[in-house]
């Protein structure tokens, strides 16, 4: 059985260069995602620090007409109507309120969702079965080989005219036409490894989004709870459970956003990885049929079978009437 994932042949210089390029591209993508995550976090810390510094002005609370009011100057005049301190004690439930409350901390989640959706749609288009293994091409190509209607040059030309991955794998094997089956299999394995890397391309990005999104949500929860406790400690809301509940609810929204992005991304990653495995198994089966047809052993067997079929065909008997005349 041909295995596209591992082969006994030592990797060539092309393979090592391709691996180094793939590692370099993955490292650049990792650094780019890390920068996208760190920029809003640093901005959050800077802006929250400045906002907290502005809120730490001297505040005084006095009782006016049975209501607690906040004044900036204890020696100045009190508000006429004694307006109470304004606090947001309502947990946001509508999308508009959630977006308004989360503010710029929603930006990394939007970026992560766009990256995940982009590569999921791209992989769904690329991994279509009709594009990777076109049934009409495979059946026609193998049938022509069985009937002996193709030679090495015409078979290679037919593979090069088809842009599918299975045609590229067949082309690697056809270039070893008439060689022993071991050499043909090794050539097909080399071509299959290149196509496998193309099929699995960008799946790591989807898996990375599924891994990083919950961590961003957890980070937002921690920062939000720290801010909520600071606001409660610096205000007159000590001992009021509703104030603490609002702050914790807002902090947990970031975790909800992170899980909302991570769960679909992880599901689609597992689905796409399973689709790649299924396509590889089908390509493996078709490659085995090709080896039996174009290797030295396969060509000799087919030639012998065709001779046997020709010899077993009865010849037409001459017409007696024609012979007498």
User: pLDDT by residue (tens digit) across 282-320?
Assistant: 999 999 888 888 888 877 777 677 667 666 655 555 555
Which residues on adjacent β-strands are paired with residue 68? 63
User: What residues in the chain have per-residue pLDDT under 70?
Assistant: 1-93, 235-247, 303, 306-307, 309-325
Confirm whether 321 is domain-assigned. Answer: no
**Residue 8, pLDDT score:** 47
Tokens of 270: 């597992």
Confirm whether 249 is domain-assigned. Answer: yes
Confirm whether 314 is domain-assigned. Answer: no
**Residue 83, pLDDT score:** 46
Confirm whether 172 is domain-assigned. Answer: yes
**Residue 69, pLDDT score:** 52
Confirm whether 21 is domain-assigned. Answer: no
Q: Please, what is the Cα angle at 12 between 6 and 17, to 5 degrees?
A: 100
Whole-number Å distance between alpha carbons of 67 and 60: 13
Tokens of 196: 């496998």
Q: How many domains does the chain have?
A: 1
Q: Other CB atoms closer than 10 Å to residue 11's CB: what's the count?
A: 12
**Residue 15, pLDDT score:** 46
Range of the domain at 217: 109-308
Confirm whether 104 is domain-assigned. Answer: no
Q: Is 201 helix (H, G, I), strand (E, B) or coil?
A: coil
Confirm whether 210 is domain-assigned. Answer: yes
Tell me which H or E stretch contains 67: strand 67-71
**Residue 78, pLDDT score:** 47
Confirm whether 7 is domain-assigned. Answer: no
Question: What's the pTM value of the predicted model, to 2 decimals?
Answer: 0.65
**Residue 35, pLDDT score:** 62
CA distances (Å), origin 96, targets 22, 92, 100, 233: 42, 9, 6, 28
Whole-number Å distance between alpha carbons of 227 and 230: 5
Widest distance between CA atoms in the chain: 143
User: pLDDT by residue (tens digit) across 100-151?
Assistant: 777 777 888 999 999 999 999 999 999 998 899 999 999 999 988 888 888 8
């Amino acid at each position: 059985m041909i295995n596209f994932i591992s082969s006994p042949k030592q990797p060539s210089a092309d393979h090592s260069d391709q691996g180094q390029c793939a590692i370099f591209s993955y490292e650049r993508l990792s650094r780019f995602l890390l920068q996208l995550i760190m920029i809003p976090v640093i901005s959050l810390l800077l802006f929250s620090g400045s906002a907290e510094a502005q809120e730490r002005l001297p505040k005084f609370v006095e009782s006016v007409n049975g209501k607690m009011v906040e004044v900036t100057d204890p020696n100045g005049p009190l508000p006429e109507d004694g307006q109470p301190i304004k606090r947001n004690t309502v947990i946001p439930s509508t999308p508009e309120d959630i977006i308004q409350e989360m503010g710029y901390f929603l930006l990394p989640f939007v970026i992560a969702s766009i990256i995940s959706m982009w590569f999921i749609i791209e992989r769904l288009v690329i991994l279509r079965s009709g594009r990777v293994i076109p049934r009409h091409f495979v059946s026609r190509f193998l049938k022509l080989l069985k009937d002996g209607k193709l030679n090495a040059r015409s078979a290679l030309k037919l593979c090069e005219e088809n842009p599918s991955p299975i045609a590229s794998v067949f082309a690697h094997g056809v270039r070893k036409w008439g060689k022993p089956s071991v050499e043909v299999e090794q050539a097909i394995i080399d071509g299959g490894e290149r196509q496998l890397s193309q099929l699995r391309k960008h799946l790591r990005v989807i898996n990375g989004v599924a891994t990083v999104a919950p961590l961003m949500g957890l980070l937002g929860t921690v920062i939000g709870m720290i801010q909520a406790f600071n606001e409660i400690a610096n205000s007159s809301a000590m001992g009021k459970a509703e104030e603490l509940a609002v702050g914790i609810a807002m902090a947990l929204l970031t975790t909800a956003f992170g899980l909302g992005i991570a769960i679909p991304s992880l599901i689609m990653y597992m689905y796409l990885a399973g689709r790649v495995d299924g396509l590889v198994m089908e390509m493996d089966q078709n490659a085995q049929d090709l080896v039996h047809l174009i290797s030295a052993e396969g060509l000799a067997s087919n030639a012998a079978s065709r001779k046997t079929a020709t010899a077993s065909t009865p010849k037409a008997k001459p017409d007696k009437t024609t012979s007498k005349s």
